[in-house]
Structure 1
């Protein structure tokens, strides 16, 4: 089993809760800050393949609402690099398993399997 990666943004309260959960449970993980480390195109494609655009993109965000109609309908890797807050947070990745958001019960199930 590979190390767990958690993608997020440092000042996001939900990301803080998820990181605290992983630390308190002594679960080894690698934190990737979407603003400073960015996401690789392969990682982005894997997320899209596994969970899809509807789950991955935060359509309630100010960033999403500020996009043009064309951009909203054509979200791609370059747009996510330019606006990392388009991605819902946190994104938990282990191998090809991916989970978006934070919920203690769902994390417990995800991390056991």
Structure 2
């Protein structure tokens, strides 16, 4: 089963959800805002990939950070800020078959689906 994390009004999340639905893929959607951050495995993502891969440094939320926050960014600060401001997290985050992916690329979704069927 695929779990898709994100925010429902995010354009990239909308594209990913539409792609999954158009391809008949069952998934569970976890909205960072509506469903909360308590059960989001943000620490695991940071440990596995590092803040540089988890945070969206092109987002409005990133640009709103202070220069000090950006310069001092590490996994611990990313955890605190990500829980407080989930729009900092790259979206969508997809978990399936023991793999985690950030963003939406059709090729990667096809790879995840293939692994999930094995």
Which ranges of 4 or more aligned residues in structure 1 deviate by more than 4 Å?
Answer: none
Alpha-carbon distance, 1:40 to partner: 3.2
Decide whether the 8 Å contact of 1:38 with 1:84 is kept in 2.
Answer: no
RMSD: 1.7
Number of residues of Structure 1 aligned to a counterpart in Structure 2: 111
| SS of equivalent to 2:41 | helix
Alpha-carbon distance, 1:41 to partner: 6.4
| Within-5 A mapping of 1:12-91 | 12-40=10-38, 43-72=41-70, 73-74=72-73, 75-91=77-93
Decide whether the 8 Å contact of 1:92 with 1:99 is kept in 2.
Answer: yes
* TM-score normalised by L of structure 1: 0.86
Alpha-carbon distance, 1:63 to partner: 0.8
Query: Quick check: 26-35 or 74-83, which moved more?
Result: 74-83
